Structures are given as structure tokens and as C-alpha cells.
Amino acid sequence: MAFKLKITSIALLLLLLVLGFGLPNNAARDSVFFNGVSFMGNPRPVNNDAFNTLKDLNCNAITLMPFAYGQKSDAKLVFENLTWQWWGESAEGTEESIVMAKEDGFQVMLKPQIWLDRGSFTGHHTYASEEDWKSFEESYRAYIMIYARMSEKHNLPVFCIGTELCEFVRQRPKFWQSLIADVKAVYSGKLTYAANWDTYSECWFWKELDFIGVDAYFPLSEEQTPTVDELVVGWTPFVFEMQQFSRKTNKPIVFTEWGYRSIDYCARRPWESGRTEDINLNGQRNAYQAMYIALYSQPWFAGGFMWKWHPEHEDAGGTQNNRFTPQNKPAQSALGEIFSYRK
């Protein structure tokens, strides 16, 4: 791949020195590798044509994200028989999408997510009373068990038990211990959890799961259009930390989400979705290439799921779009090259 050669010898040497020249890691050596995308829920039903471009992209996996909804004042989630819910975010649409994706040869991971208080960060969500916590936990358990059983029904290889629920995990360990046991009672595949990039090492339950899941929005560069070399150097301390954590836990790491917007300063605070800076296609492409260089040769790395991919490809993205999707942008071809490297 041509873009591999863009990294300077200095940046490559630094990466290799810090990471120990890719020393073996028994935790990940034999694990599955995900060249995956986060397949967004569509308002309307889709058909198998929605997966055609992904086949050409060397993609081998998708994650589907059903949603539950709530408000802190209610202390419970709603997720069934919602007439206003998008098809692709419902149980019905999720199951139909599983069937189509498997028919086209894709591995599928379900990653249930919750939408709280009109999009507030779920990691900060807490309750003051035990009664409210119990009510919320009851609804969350019911929600997760729907998709654990669905994952077992369709023999899916991995299931994600939650997404960026930092305070919930920290404050309610007994609930999570019981939830993991309940999931294991109905689902025989591998388990992960999608931890935020800055809190994954604080999660206490990795010993109960099979993959360390990281939503990998690490801040890598303050530059308006960071170069591949600069981004690789920015990755180095984070990759070293993940390498050490993988060895400590003897678990492979999967990026349950990773991605960059096609926008100025795309790697400064990559998780931000509301910024309005100018379109920058080169920055996004460079960030993809640097992620490949920094991670894909690491034996503890089990791949991941790029954020995000829309089912209606012809109408998605484009050179006037500054959002996360690489569709119909230079980053799309870079993603195809990345996915061709390790399968």
C-alpha cells in the first residue's frame, strides 16, 4: 500500500522503540480480527444492496446499534413498540439487518446504545436515589437481554453489553456482575463492552469479558491538517498504554468505535460532533492512514468498527460533507487499503 511509505524513519523508529518492536501477545494471537464499520440504523427498511460497497471495501464485519431512549427524570428506558423509532434502530430492523448481513458474509456484533436527555453524554448519567437506580437497572437489563438472546439466535460471534456508561459501571458493580452472568446464561459467544477512550483502564470487569472494547477517540494532534507522521507520533503513548493493559489483563483490544470527521483539527478532540470548522478531506484521510500504521501490526489489536457508515451509500458523505462518514471521500479508498492488509 502506497500510504504506508509516507511515514518518516524517525516517527517509525519512535513507534517501534516505545512498543518493543511488536512483541508477541498471547491474548490476541489467535483471536478474530474485525475490519468493521458501524452500520447506522436507517429510517426506512434496507435490502442487501446496502452492503454491496462494503464488500468492495474488504470489510468483514459490521456492528448494529439498536437504541433505547430515556430521560433522567423517568429513571427508566423505553425500547419496545415505539411507533416513532427508526427502523434500523428497532429490534425488528436490527434482526432483519443481521439476516441480510450474514447472507452477504459479514460478521455482526450488536452494540445496544441508549439515548438520554436528547443526546447528553451517557457516561455522566447517574441517579441520587437507590429507587431510581433500581428502576433504571431493571429496564436496562430487559433491554440488553433482548439483544443477547438475538445474538445467540443468530450465532453472532461477539456481543457488546453497553456503550460509554462510565458512572453506571463505576457506581453499580453488583448490577454489572449480575448482568454479565445473565447474559452468559443465554449467549454462548464472546463478550465486550464499549468503554470511552479515557476510562477503559478503570473498568473492573474485563476479566469477565473476552475483548477489551475501546471507543478510540484519542486526542492526537493540535494541527489544522495533521500529517500522517504527526499523528503516528500522537498515537505512540496511547498505543503503549493499550499494549501494557492488554498484557496485564491478557485480553485483546477491539476498537468498538473509531473515526474522524472530515474537518479542520479532526484529531484534536475527535469525539466532538457539534463543531463547525471548515471541511478538510486531507486531515480525515491522514488520520485513517495513521491509525493503520500505529495499530494494525500490533498482535494484541483485534481490529475495530469505523464510525460511521450509512446504508444508502450513493447519498452519503461526499466532498462537501464534514461529518464522520468516509463515504464518497478520499478516506473511503484509504479505508479499503487498510482493510486489505489484515484479515
Q: What is the pLDDT of residue 25?
A: 52
Average pLDDT over residues 122-144: 95
| Amino acid 15: pLDDT | 58
Fold of 2-341: TIM Barrel (3.20.20)
Task: Decide if pLDDT at 78 tops 80.
Answer: yes
In sequence order, what DSSP letters do the residues of 75-144 get, joined into one string? TEEE-SS-TTS-GGGSHHHHHHHHHHHHHTT-EEEE--EEEETTT--GGG---SSHHHHHHHHHHHHHHH
Is pLDDT at 164 greater than 70 in this prediction? yes
d(CA 195, CA 68): 18
pLDDT at 16: 54
State how far the Cα of 255 lies from the Cα of 218, in Å rounded to an integer: 11
What is the rounded average pLDDT of the residues 123-147? 95
What is the value of pTM for the model shown? 0.93
How many Å apart are CA 67 and CA 94, to the nearest integer?
A: 10
**Where are the domains positioned within the chain?**
2-341
Q: Report how far residue 24's alpha carbon sits from residue 131's, in angstroms, rounded to the nearest whole number.
A: 48
**pLDDT tens-digit series, residues 254-295:** 999 999 999 999 999 999 998 888 999 999 999 999 999 999
